[in-house]
Amino acid sequence: MTPYIKTLIFFFLIITAVISCDNFDISSKQSDTFIKFYGATNLDYGSDVKQLPNGKYFVTGTVSLSESNASAFTLVTDEYGNSTTDLKTIAGESNTSSRIAMTALLPDGGIIAIGTYQVRSGNNDIWVLRFNSQGDTTWTRKFGSSNNDEGMGLVINENNEIVCIGYTTVVVGTNIPDKQIWMHKLSLEGSELWPKERIHGATDDDEKIAIDDIGNYIISENDGYIVVCTISEFSAGRNDKNINVIKFDINGLHPLIIRQIKLSNDEESKIIKAIPESNGYFVLANSTSITDGSSDILLMKLNNNLDTTYTRIIDNGESETASALVYKNNRIYILGTSYNTRNDTRRMLLISTSDNGENPVYNYYGFTKERIEGFGMGETADGGFILTGSNILLYKMLNPGDF
C-alpha cells in the first residue's frame, strides 16, 4: 500500500469517526438503534452505562491521557447518543491511573460509581465517586490499606445506602500477600455508616501458600447481602481459581451461608443477579482452561439456599469472556467479547438464552483485525439495551436482532 493511499484512508477514518460521534440529523430508526464511538484507541473504553430518568445516557470508563497515566471519565449523551457534555476526566494527574468498575443510579438521577485509583509508583486505593446528572463530580472517597486494594462493585440498598465490595491486601507470615474481601457502607453523602470496614477471607501462615479472596459483585437482600467472589490458592507453582457465593448478615459481619463452586477449570466470578419472584439467582463467570488457556462463559443458576440448580458452559468455538448480564422477559442476555487467537480479532458478543441457559443465540459486532470488546450493558426505557465497550463505543438497540 502506497503512503498516499494510507494517508487517504487515515483521513477517511478521522472524518468517519467525527461524523459518528454526533449526528443531530435524527432519523426515525435512530430512536431504535445507533452506534457511536467517542474513544481514540483501544485503550479508551466504557466500563458501564446507565439511562437516566430524563432519557439521557450516562457513560463511565477510562481514557488514556499518555503513556504514563489514564483517567476515569464521565460522558452524558442525549437519547440518540449525541454528547450533551464534554468527556470529563477525573483524577488524571501525572503518573496515575484511575478506572471505574461499575455504577448505580441514585434516587435523584445522579450516579454512584466504584473503581480503583492507582499511583504508578505506589499502591492502589478503592475509589468511590458520586456524580450529578451532568457528569460533574459531587464527592469522592478513597479506602484501603498501604498495600494494593481495588473496588469492584456496589449496590444501593432499600434504605438508600451504598454498600461497596472489592478486596484489600494483607500480609501474613513473612512476606506473603493475601487479598481479602473488603466491604463498607456509606451514606449518599459519602459518610461512613459502619464504624469500620469489613474484611473477610482466608489466610494461610504457610509461607509457600497465598490465598486470595476477591469480592466481585454484591446484591442486597432484606436480611443481608449476597456476594460472589473469586478465591485463588497459589501453591507449588499452580494458581487454582474457584467461585465462592457468600450470604452475609445485614451488618456485613457474619457469613450466614458459604457455597464454594469448584469445577475442572479456573473459574473467575463476574456477577450475581437475583431472579424476580424469589426464584433464586444467576451467577455469571469466566472459565479458563488449565491446559490451553482458552476461555468460555460459565452461567449458573442457584436456588434461594445458594445451592447450584444448573451449570452451563457457553462456547461458540472461540475464546469467549463475559462482562454483563440482564434478565428480562424470561430470557438471559450476556454481554462479552469473543477472541479469535488465529487472527487476533476481538468482537463484541451479545448472547441470548432461555432462562434455563439452553439454546444460546450468538450475535457479534466487529470485523477482521478489529478489537471491539463489550464491557457494560443496561436496559433502556423503551425495552431495549444500551451497551458500551472499547473505543468508548455506545450501542443502542431495541432488540438483539438489531445487533
> Mind listing the pLDDT tens digit for each residue in 162-180?
999 999 998 766 567 789 9
For residue 372, pLDDT over 80 is answered with yes
Residue 272 and residue 167: Cα distance in Å, rounded?
17
When mean pLDDT is compared across 10-19, 61-70, 106-115, the lowest value belongs to: 10-19
Give the per-residue pLDDT at 19.
39
Angle at 184 between CA 183 and CA 190, to 5 degrees: 150
Mean pLDDT of 144-148: 85
> Mind listing the pLDDT tens digit for each residue in 31-51?
789 999 999 887 899 999 999
- Give the chain's radius of gyration (CA, Å): 21
Residue ranges of E strands in 173-280: 176-186, 198-200, 210-221, 224-235, 238-248, 255-261, 266-274
State the pairing for strand pair 374-379/385-389. antiparallel
Residue 296 and residue 359: Cα distance in Å, rounded?
16
Give the per-residue pLDDT at 333.
97
Mean pLDDT of 239-249: 93
pTM above 0.75, yes or no: yes
Residue ranges of E strands in 120-206: 124-131, 137-143, 150-156, 162-172, 176-186, 198-200
Give the per-residue pLDDT at 279.
86
The three three-digit cell numbers of residue 372, written as one number: 471491539
Angle at 123 between CA 119 and CA 129, to 5 degrees: 65
Tell me what the pLDDT averaged over the chain comes to. Answer: 87
- Pick the more confident residue, 156 or 66: 156
For residue 236, pLDDT over 70 is answered with no
Mean pLDDT of 258-283: 93
When mean pLDDT is compared across 23-37, 217-231, 253-267, the lowest value belongs to: 23-37
When mean pLDDT is compared across 78-87, 95-104, 159-168, the lowest value belongs to: 95-104
For residue 237, pLDDT over 90 is answered with no
Domains of the chain: 37-402 (2.130.10.10)
Task: Give the residues across from 200 on adjacent strands.
Answer: 181
Mean pLDDT of 248-261: 96
Give the per-residue pLDDT at 177.
76
Give the per-residue pLDDT at 227.
97
* Whether the Cβ atoms of residue 161 and residue 193 lie closer than 8 Å to each other: yes
State the DSSP H helix or E strand holding residue 71, giving kind and residue range, or none if neither.
Answer: strand 70-77
User: Residue 92: which pLDDT band, with cuts at 50, 70 and 90?
Assistant: low
